[in-house]
Structure 1
Amino acid sequence: GADVNATEESGFTPLHLSSKNGHKAVALLLLERGADLNVTNEQGFTPLHLSSMQGHRDVSLLLLDRGADLNVTTEKGFTPLHLSSQEGHQDVSLLFVERGADLNVTTEQGFTPLHLSSFNGHRDVSLLLLDRGADLNVTNEQGFTPLHLSSMQGHRDVSLLLLD
């Protein structure tokens, strides 16, 4: 049969692609046939990074239940929680928080998940992170807090949340 862990030119395996596109049944089939859960592509993305970025909670849950590393980082230091927060996927972010994801982990440039949700105006994700204990005064390598970023981008609702 076909090589379940074969990679294309960017390093994507079939599990990367089924996870990115939210195909839980296919992801399960691939896992049952020996797909590597924590395989990375050229940028260090695992299947869990891709499912989280696209907001596929069911696939993310499957991967976690099968033993995917929740705090794995890409080459630039992004965890799955960074990506779900950046894209505003509250349900996926909640799943990761409930499973014990590090709320204050930073990327290479010093961004926390709260920095990314604030920059992109995702109030619900920002509220979730704050409620669960994210540090709202942490600074990135440029000295920006989440409030700096929400203010710079004109996100009044997120700025108000961070000020309260």
Structure 2
Amino acid sequence: MKKVLSIAICLCTMVVMSLASKVLAVSASSMTVDCASVLRDATHCASGSLYGITETKPADVNGLVAPLKSYVMRNPARGGYGNQHGFGAAIPVSQKLASVQSAKVSIDLADMLPGWPYKWPGMTSWFNQVNSFISDKKASGRNNYYGYEIWNEPDGT
């Protein structure tokens, strides 16, 4: 009797598990979206660009960037020869975006260094570069900066 009961319980368990896995598979592969239900207005908090604004492009930030209500533009601290990027320096970009109320510039300090992986110049040189940039940023008189990224992709450099 115990053997028959054990077999019956095992069979029932297998049937239940089989049905449950089919129900879970069906529910996991379908989703309903009610487009008429609004959760909240768009905040644009995740909108912006990675090196998408340079000193010269786009020419018309009020017509092309402002309507998007972009929030954070990530740019290298310095651009030009000897830096990772030859364009898009944060200070001139912040000047270009000064009329776009929603836009802030996030400053990638490590992009002041040349090459990839970055060519490390030593702590003294690094501190001099960072201090020089911070002085220039303060002298710009603008407050449309988001913050500093101290080091980019530390596992790669």
Task: Give the structure-1-normalised TM-score.
Answer: 0.29
Higher strand share: 2
Higher Cα Rg, which structure: 2
Task: Give the structure-2-normalised TM-score.
Answer: 0.30
Higher relative contact order (CA 8 A, sep 6+): 2
Higher helix share: 1
